[in-house]
Amino acid sequence: MYHFFVPAENISEKQVVVTGGDVNHIKNVLRMKPGEKFVANDGNGASYCCSIREFSGDCVIADIEKGQLENTELPVRLVLFQGLPKADKMELIIQKAVELGAAEIVPVEMTRCVVRLDEKKKKNKIARWQSIAESAAKQSGRTVIP
């Protein structure tokens, strides 16, 4: 079953409204139809089994069939402090750490670290790393995005 992260304000007692890039993914990439099911996560550990009711412009409206599915998170909070590696190795490290259950990933500039990020690159890198973490969380069935 497909997993999608939905902002908590878009989840009510009986329905979920999916917006943003996931709408295109549901409609055009996966070609899901009304009646098909998916799992909606609020990003805080709550997940709901949903059935698509309708497609409305730039949103997907789904009914909640089962509320609060079983929590799949680790019983301990795992934080990874990672020195900045060369090239794009950090992306793979983030992906695998999220898949394995890390709750938080902290990139660290060490004194002997070759890589230094300036302010302009830092914002772009953080946005890229967040999208990688979200994709990895969806793929591995996590209920929280680190």
CATH of the domain at 15: 2.40.240.20
State which residues form the domain around 45: 3-66
| pTM, entire model | 0.81
Question: What backbone torsions phi and psi does residue 79 show, to the nearest 5 degrees?
Answer: -115, 130
Residues 8 and 62 in one domain: yes
Residues 62 and 115 in one domain: no
Residues 59 and 96 in one domain: no
For residue 71, pLDDT over 80 is answered with: no
Chosen domain end from 66, 99, 121: 66
For residue 113, pLDDT over 90 is answered with: no
Residue 93's pLDDT is 96
- Which element (helix H / strand E) includes 130? helix 119-140
Residue 57's pLDDT is 85
The domain total for the chain is 2
Residue 15's pLDDT is 92
Residue 52's pLDDT is 94
Task: Read off the CATH number of the domain in which 105 is found.
Answer: 3.40.1280.10
Do 22 and 43 form a contact (C-beta atoms < 8 A)?
Answer: no
In a domain, 22, yes or no: yes
In a domain, 128, yes or no: yes
Residue 90's pLDDT is 93
For residue 69, pLDDT over 80 is answered with: no
Residue 51's pLDDT is 95
Residues 60 and 88 in one domain: no
Averaged pLDDT for residues 103-113 = 90
Mean per-residue pLDDT over the chain, rounded: 90
In a domain, 72, yes or no: no
In a domain, 73, yes or no: no
Model pLDDT for residues 22-64, shown as the tens digit of each residue? 999 999 999 999 999 999 988 888 889 999 999 988 999 999 9
* More confident site: 102 or 113: 102
Distance CA(74)–CA(12), nearest Å, equals: 27
Distances (CA, A) of 48 to 3, 43, 81, 86: 10, 11, 31, 39
